[in-house]
Amino acid sequence: MLTVDFDRLGIGPGTRVIDVGCGAGRHSFEAYRRGADIVAFDQNGSDLADVDVMFKAMADAGEAPEYAKAETVRGDALDLPYGDGEFDVVIASEILEHIPQDEAAIGELVRVVKPGGALAITVPRWLPERICWALSDEYHANEGGHVRIYRADELRDKVTARGLRFIHRAHAHALHSPYWWLKCAVGVGNDKHPAVTAYHRMLVWDMMSAPQLTRTTERWLDPLIGKSVALYFAKPAVRSARR
């Protein structure tokens, strides 16, 4: 289940990509399949170990081109261990809402994008997230939980203030919003509640089968209740000096 539009970012053979806060690796795996040179970056060593196992399995199964490169790196998003402008594309999906010092994290994301490169950031959308917070303190008031709710324009302005150009906004995963509202209403940890298990089965069926009905329904609902908002930016290319 991808939140980022890889076609919009132009990710393909030879593209150097870093997936900051990669988590379970869903975006990193897609970049690898497309032949990119991908760095899956996270602070969670356990998650990275699982991602590394999947990278190796993909290579063994021929699910990624032989020329593509994939590695996992553990570190802090507030201090990325890379020089300025090292990556064609930087992805930060669903991480900034967890980071108290989001301005510092944004600064690092912007710094490692090469001139002419792209940055994609996704965060929970304001309305669905506000409903979750209203229904449940457990949803966000925990270690490593969400520390803020973004308005898209606010986040956009924080990035463009650092010199990047805003390109596009999109919404995704509308069918997941009611699922989280249900979980918040009955208890976030109550995965055995009948309504939660039934809805989860539907989501799994949808992701595995991608039927036309649910795909069309979600496209219609995304602008209204999409769980995530994705913002796309470009770093201006460096112009050569006139002679």
Rounded Cα distance between 134 and 119, Å, is 31
Question: For 39-95, how does the pLDDT look when each residue is reduced to its tens digit (9 = 90+)?
Answer: 999 999 999 999 999 999 999 999 999 999 999 999 999 999 999 999 999 999 999
pTM flag (> 0.85): yes
DSSP for 143-205? TT-------HHHHHHHHHTTTPEEEEEEEE-TTHHHHHHHHHHH-TT-TTSHHHHHHHHHHHH
In this prediction, residue 239 carries a pLDDT of 63
When pLDDT is cut at 50, 70 and 90, the band that residue 1 belongs to is confident
pLDDT at residue 243 is higher than 50? no
Helix (H, G, I), strand (E, B) or coil at 233: strand
In this prediction, residue 241 carries a pLDDT of 47
φ and ψ at residue 99, rounded to 5 degrees: -105, 115
Question: For 141-174, how does the pLDDT look when each residue is reduced to its tens digit (9 = 90+)?
Answer: 877 789 999 999 999 999 999 999 999 999 999 9
Mean pLDDT across the chain, nearest whole number?
94
